[in-house]
Structure 1
Amino acid sequence: MRESKRGKTRGGLRIQPENVPSGCFTRKTLLDTIRRNGRASRTQLAELTGLTFMAVKRNMEELLDLGLIREDGTEPSSVGRKSVLYAVNESFACTAGIYINMYETRAAVMDLGGTILYSKRMAMDQPCNQAELIDRVIRLAQETLEESGQPRERILGVGIGVPGPVDPGRGLVLSPPNLTCLQYVPLRGIVEQALGLPAFLQKDANVIALGELRHGAARGHADMMYIYADVGIGGGLVLNGSLYLGLNAGAGEIGHITLDQDGPVCNCASTGCVEAIASGLAVTRRYNREKGCSASIEDVLQAAAQNDTCAVMCLNDSARTLGIAVGSLINLLDLPVIVIGGLLAERYEPYLALVRQSATEKKLKGYRSNRILPSALANNAGVIGAGELVADHFFKTGVLELFQSGAAS
């Protein structure tokens, strides 16, 4: 094993990339390529980056000395010497994640490979006001950090996933229809001040998309979309390996595509949106109207499991409607992978198959290889993806500061 020369520099890494020596960007390019491909040999890195083999070798030595990468087996070969493969050193540092939805809040500490080292959850089953909820979330995060056993200087920061819409630039939760007590809360700043760590905020579907991209159903792909089929319907879009936010940081809102101009009024004030027709809330409203009752979405799902004809019809129609939108999405972006999660997809077994069937009927006939997959990370997708917000920041800018800081000396 090679002795690491890394210093104690960890949390709060910040960088202004002006005047950064070119060698730092070379090492960053190699590190990004390894991270994107999982692992690679020096020969493969030269081919993938266009760098000379000697440049790769020299800069890989620096990355090894810093402890940012590690040897990870050898490349299969029938002739000659086997090439050593290199991977990101997951134990170099840790990230923290907080994921909040209407059912629960989860907090976790992870390594750079997305493996959860310690986590805690808090059910959202007690009524509370804004101040009480924020206090509970902060307390959960503090307990998670303290009980994880990881020194605070090893934790690079904390990512936060919360029901949207959000303003990531200002760290502000805007007006989430399913968690109204967090309206216009500057959550990023509150978390930073309470935990003493840099924080990063994104809407829930975006962090889940990152989790599934890096460590779940869409691993190995650069382009994908995650669709959240739950009480509401949302989405997170990834293009070229990064979240695509759009001009207003709202990209991916498949739930607000209009399918029926004369359809029901949506929470967004438009009519006939996918969410207004196919969400868990829409399913529940329709079921209650048909049955003359006041059931919850949990009640409807349980009724469907007992072959209640009305519940089955409402859920089947929801899946088919979402499938129409997914088919249109495939026609628009030709994404290789679309991952579907959330309560409806996870609790109603026929849901995904019906989405696939409906999407297949609507997508162009030449589009045969696009895959519609279930979530692979289930309840941990959000908190793992929140940690990826921190990891992304570190690999984008933090490593440049590390290269310049003299930590390798």
Structure 2
Amino acid sequence: MAEEDRTTTPTKRRSRNPGSQPALRLLNRQRIIDALLGAGPSTQAEISRSTGLSTATVSNIVKSMAAKGLVSTAPTTSSGRRALSVTLNGNGAVAVGIDFGRSHVRVVLANLGYQVVAERALPLPLGHHASESIAAAADLLNLLLAEANIPRSLIVGAGAGIPGPIDRRSGTVVQGAILPEWVGINILERLEKTLELPVYADNDANLGALAEVTWGPHRSVSNLMFLKIGSGIGAGLILNGAPYYGNVGVTGEIGHATINEHGPICRCGNRGCLETVASTATMIELLSRGAVGPLTVGDIVRRALAKDSATLRVIDDAGLAVGRAIGNVANLINPEVIVVGGPLAGLDDLLLDPIRRGLLRHAVPVVGESTTLAMSSLGDRAEALGAASLVFQHQRIRRP
């Protein structure tokens, strides 16, 4: 599946006309990057032959890339003639990926080869305000740049994800986010002002899906659903090789699918939503009854792996409910793969088995049986890695 197809995003700094001269220049630059990634250092004439671009076009783009630190050049000889050798700088262009969570912020730096060159996360207090986490992200970014000895001028942009829907028309966080303190905030304006970088923002589940088809083992999958189970439950969709955003960018809110219309009130105002049954917040509430102190998600994972019967029952009930919800989605979109991510990934089959039972019970048999269910191999890095991918894809830089 061509990764250049995965470029539509709900919230971006500016739109581009794919047929414009700047867009054509970006495509030609990508062809040169691809050639250098495949063949290593090459002369401009060799690049021209391998890409089909004219020598004048190659020369102009190489000059621009050298000025930005993407490549380095050096005089050489080829067939007895003077030539210019071009070498791709591994860290010549760096994308920043930021994952804002309910109680953490994570920042990664990734280079042109889609390699993580620096990464760090910080815990944040529950109920933190946007200004706190944005300031923490800016501090982390500066720290990572210093540690990796990367000049700020090499950053091509920053991607950011939050656990909640973003209205792509305005770039604002809308009601329903796990971070209610962020509702109404224009995340692009706030981040661009603080970071002084081009910024692209998206929902964390969408970024998790993007990460699975760029960093994970599912790069050849054209129809994938990424399900993040945490304090909230959200889904990101890759349909026909591209992220799916619907009308205004609010998609994948599977956590608010009604499981029991007479169930408890959800934070969205409805009753019996999936989140009231299967979120980690609900699991913690159920298992903390009678406990000396409140449990953490890590405690749930440890108790489940130790075969604690109450914990296993809560996980089984949650998994069946999740399976029922994704069964309904699978009947609509028929995904090839459904990847489960989030802080419960360490449970592996303890969580996947009940989800699979629920999926097979509620999906059309041929759909349920042909859908692969897998746990994410990217762990808690998925959303930040997806955010970095978002930047490169806006720059038309595909994974080699």
- 1:208–1:159 CA distance, 2 compared to 1 (3 A): same
Task: Give yes or no for the alignment of 1:206 onto 2:206.
Answer: yes
Task: Give yes or no for the alignment of 1:58 onto 2:59.
Answer: no
Task: Give yes or no for the alignment of 1:285 onto 2:312.
Answer: no
Q: Which runs of 5+ in 1 are unaligned?
A: 1-11, 41-53, 71-87, 397-409
Equivalents in 2 of 1:189, 1:55: separation in Å? 43
Task: Give yes or no for the alignment of 1:370 onto 2:371.
Answer: yes
> Can you list the C-alpha shifts for 1:136-180, whole angstroms capped at 9, x where unaligned?
222222322343322333221000111112234433333465333
Kept in 1, the 8 Å contact 2:170–2:186? The answer is yes
Which residue of structure 2 lines up, in the alignment, with residue 258 of structure 1? Answer: 258
Amino acid at match of 1:123: P
Q: In the TM superposition, what are the counterparts of 1:121-160 in structure 2 within 5 Å?
A: 121-125=121-125, 128-160=128-160
Which residue of structure 2 lines up, in the alignment, with residue 80 of structure 1? Answer: none
Amino acid at match of 1:322: V
Kept in 1, the 8 Å contact 2:168–2:248? The answer is no
Which residue of structure 1 lines up, in the alignment, with residue 294 of structure 2? Answer: 295
Kept in 2, the 8 Å contact 1:229–1:344? The answer is yes
Equivalents in 1 of 2:267, 2:261: separation in Å? 15
- 1:345–1:61 CA distance, 2 compared to 1 (3 A): farther
Q: Give, in angstroms, the shift of residue 216 of structure 1.
A: 0.6
Which residue of structure 2 lines up, in the alignment, with residue 386 of structure 1? Answer: 387
Equivalents in 1 of 2:215, 2:57: separation in Å? 23
Equivalents in 1 of 2:264, 2:99: separation in Å? 31
Which residue of structure 2 lines up, in the alignment, with residue 75 of structure 1? Answer: none
Q: In the TM superposition, what are the counterparts of 1:68-107 in structure 2 within 5 Å?
A: 93-107=93-107
Task: Give yes or no for the alignment of 1:219 onto 2:219.
Answer: yes
Identity among equivalent positions (%) equals 26
> Can you list the C-alpha shifts for 1:315-370, whole angstroms capped at 9, x where unaligned?
11101111111222221111111110112333465101221232123222223332
Q: In the TM superposition, what are the counterparts of 1:331-350 in structure 2 within 5 Å?
A: 331-347=331-347, 349-350=349-350
- 1:232–1:59 CA distance, 2 compared to 1 (3 A): same
- 1:89–1:162 CA distance, 2 compared to 1 (3 A): same
Q: Give, in angstroms, the shift of residue 186 of structure 1.
A: 2.5
- 1:176–1:257 CA distance, 2 compared to 1 (3 A): closer
Kept in 1, the 8 Å contact 2:97–2:384? The answer is yes
Amino acid at match of 2:99: Y
- 1:344–1:99 CA distance, 2 compared to 1 (3 A): same
Kept in 1, the 8 Å contact 2:345–2:379? The answer is no
Amino acid at match of 1:121: A
Equivalents in 2 of 1:150, 1:280: separation in Å? 38
Say which SS state the counterpart of residue 157 (structure 2) adopts. Answer: strand
- Alignment size in residue pairs: 352
- 1:284–1:160 CA distance, 2 compared to 1 (3 A): same
- 1:150–1:169 CA distance, 2 compared to 1 (3 A): farther
Equivalents in 2 of 1:23, 1:186: separation in Å? 27
Kept in 1, the 8 Å contact 2:100–2:133? The answer is no
- 1:25–1:144 CA distance, 2 compared to 1 (3 A): closer
- 1:267–1:147 CA distance, 2 compared to 1 (3 A): same
Equivalents in 2 of 1:380, 1:61: separation in Å? 41
Kept in 2, the 8 Å contact 1:27–1:60? The answer is no
Amino acid at match of 1:359: L
Equivalents in 2 of 1:14, 1:266: separation in Å? 36
Which residue of structure 2 lines up, in the alignment, with residue 197 of structure 1? Answer: 197
- 1:15–1:130 CA distance, 2 compared to 1 (3 A): closer
Equivalents in 2 of 1:168, 1:23: separation in Å? 22
Which residue of structure 1 lines up, in the alignment, with residue 239 of structure 2? Answer: 239
Which residue of structure 1 lines up, in the alignment, with residue 309 of structure 2? Answer: 309
Q: Give, in angstroms, the shift of residue 219 of structure 1.
A: 1.5
Equivalents in 2 of 1:146, 1:187: separation in Å? 25
Equivalents in 2 of 1:260, 1:126: separation in Å? 28
- 1:63–1:110 CA distance, 2 compared to 1 (3 A): farther
Q: Give, in angstroms, the shift of residue 95 of structure 1.
A: 0.9
Say which SS state the counterpart of residue 214 (structure 1) adopts. Answer: coil
Equivalents in 2 of 1:22, 1:192: separation in Å? 22
Q: Give, in angstroms, the shift of residue 201 of structure 1.
A: 1.0
Kept in 2, the 8 Å contact 1:256–1:275? The answer is yes
- 1:207–1:363 CA distance, 2 compared to 1 (3 A): same
Amino acid at match of 2:52: R
Q: Give, in angstroms, the shift of residue 260 of structure 1.
A: 2.0
Root-mean-square deviation (Å): 3.8
> Can you list the C-alpha shifts for 1:88-127, whole angstroms capped at 9, x where unaligned?
9975622111111123211121013421111222122587
Equivalents in 2 of 1:23, 1:172: separation in Å? 27
Q: Give, in angstroms, the shift of residue 28 of structure 1.
A: 5.9
- 1:315–1:149 CA distance, 2 compared to 1 (3 A): same
Q: Give, in angstroms, the shift of residue 390 of structure 1.
A: 0.9
Task: Give yes or no for the alignment of 1:352 onto 2:352.
Answer: yes
- 1:381–1:60 CA distance, 2 compared to 1 (3 A): farther
Q: Give, in angstroms, the shift of residue 64 of structure 1.
A: 7.0
Say which SS state the counterpart of residue 185 (structure 2) adopts. Answer: coil
Q: Give, in angstroms, the shift of residue 371 of structure 1.
A: 0.9
Equivalents in 2 of 1:26, 1:126: separation in Å? 42
Equivalents in 1 of 2:247, 2:13: separation in Å? 27
Kept in 2, the 8 Å contact 1:283–1:297? The answer is no
Equivalents in 1 of 2:388, 2:21: separation in Å? 29
Say which SS state the counterpart of residue 114 (structure 1) adopts. Answer: coil
Q: Which runs of 5+ in 2 are unaligned?
A: 1-11, 40-47, 72-87
Say which SS state the counterpart of residue 295 (structure 1) adopts. Answer: coil
Amino acid at match of 1:324: R
Query: More deviation in 175-184 or 367-376?
Result: 175-184
Equivalents in 1 of 2:13, 2:127: separation in Å? 38
Amino acid at match of 2:210: L
Task: Give yes or no for the alignment of 1:173 onto 2:164.
Answer: no
Equivalents in 1 of 2:57, 2:322: separation in Å? 46
- 1:214–1:61 CA distance, 2 compared to 1 (3 A): farther
